C-alpha cells in the first residue's frame, strides 16, 4: 500500500494568511512521510482556500481520504470585508486596483437590501483569476497572460448574507453558502448592484457543515496531533 492505511485521521486546520491550501497539505504530508517512512502518503483537503484567505481547512489523512468527496459538498460559512469604490482584476488584494468609482452614500438598509437580493439559488460567474478550467487550462493561467477569459456561470446557493457598515466604505459581512461559491465574485457583484466598484479585502472561513474553525489547530499543533495519533495507532494495531 502506498499510504498509511488502516491509520486514518481527519484534522481541522486554521490556514494561515498567504499559505496556499496545498502548502498546508504538503507540510502535513511531510510529517506523515517522516512517521511512516514511506514516500507516498495519502493526504488531502476537503475544499480549497485562496492564499489571501484564512480559516478552516479539513485535512484527511490515510484511510480518511475516502471522506473527502462527502465533506466537499457541505455548506460553508465565511466572514470578511468588502471595500467599495474600487475594483481589482482578481476581485481581491492579489492584484492592484484597476479602476475607481464614486462611493454611494452610506445607507445600511439599502446595503442589506442589496445583500438580501443574493439570497437563494443564483447564477454566479467565477473570477477570471480562478482555478476553473478552460480547454484544459486553468483560467488564472490565461488571465495572467492577458487573454480574455469567458467562464460559464455556475448555480450556487446563498443561505445568508448579513452586512455591517460601521467602517464604511468598508463593509463587514457574514455569508453562508453552498459548495462552489466564490466570495470574491459575490463582493464584485455586490458592488455592481450598488452602481459602484467593490473588491474583497479579507476573508475567513469559519465553518464547513458542523465543523467550526473554533476547533481547528494551527499548522504546528496539527503536526503535533498527527504525531500523537500515529503513536497511539502503533500501540494498538
Q: Which residues are catalytic?
A: 50
Per-residue CA distances from 33 to 4, 36, 38, 41, 235 (Å): 9, 5, 6, 7, 19
The residue written with cell numbers 468609482 in the block is 101
CA distance 192 to 184: 13
Q: Which stretches of the chain are assigned E, i.e. beta strand?
A: 8-15, 43-45, 53-62, 76-84, 86-87, 99-100, 120-124, 133-134, 137-138, 154-164, 170-177, 198-208, 211-212
Which DSSP category does 217 fall into? B
**What is the length of the chain?**
237
Q: How far is CA 66 from the centre of its chain?
A: 21
Amino acid at each position: 500500500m502506498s499510504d498509511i492505511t488502516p491509520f486514518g485521521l481527519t484534522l481541522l486546520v486554521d490556514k494561515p494568511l498567504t499559505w496556499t491550501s496545498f502548502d498546508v497539505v504538503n507540510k502535513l504530508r511531510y510529517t506523515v512521510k517522516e512517521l511512516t517512512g514511506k514516500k507516498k502518503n495519502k493526504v488531502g483537503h476537503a475544499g480549497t482556500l485562496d492564499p489571501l484567505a484564512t480559516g478552516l481547512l479539513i485535512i484527511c489523512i490515510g484511510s480518511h481520504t475516502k471522506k473527502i468527496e462527502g465533506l466537499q459538498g457541505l455548506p460553508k460559512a465565511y466572514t470578511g470585508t468588502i471595500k467599495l469604490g474600487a475594483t481589482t482584476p482578481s476581485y481581491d488584494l492579489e492584484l492592484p486596483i484597476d479602476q475607481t468609482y464614486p462611493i454611494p452614500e452610506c445607507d445600511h438598509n439599502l446595503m442589506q437590501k442589496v445583500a438580501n437580493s443574493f439570497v437563494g439559488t443564483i447564477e454566479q460567474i467565477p473570477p477570471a483569476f480562478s482555478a476553473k478550467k478552460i480547454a484544459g487550462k486553468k483560467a488564472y493561467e490565461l488571465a495572467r497572460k492577458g487573454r480574455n477569459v469567458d467562464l460559464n456561470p455556475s448555480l450556487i446557493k446563498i443561505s445568508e448574507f448579513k452586512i455591517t457598515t460601521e467602517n464604511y466604505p468598508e463593509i463587514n459581512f457574514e455569508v453562508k453558502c453552498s459548495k462552489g461559491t466564490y466570495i470574491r465574485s459575490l463582493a464584485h457583484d455586490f458592488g455592481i448592484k450598488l452602481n459602484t466598484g467593490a473588491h474583497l479585502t479579507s476573508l475567513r472561513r469559519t465553518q464547513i457543515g458542523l465543523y467550526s474553525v473554533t476547533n481547528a489547530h494551527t499548522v504546528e499543533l496539527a503536526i503535533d496531533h498527527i504525531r500523537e495519533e500515529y503513536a497511539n495507532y502503533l500501540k494498538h494495531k
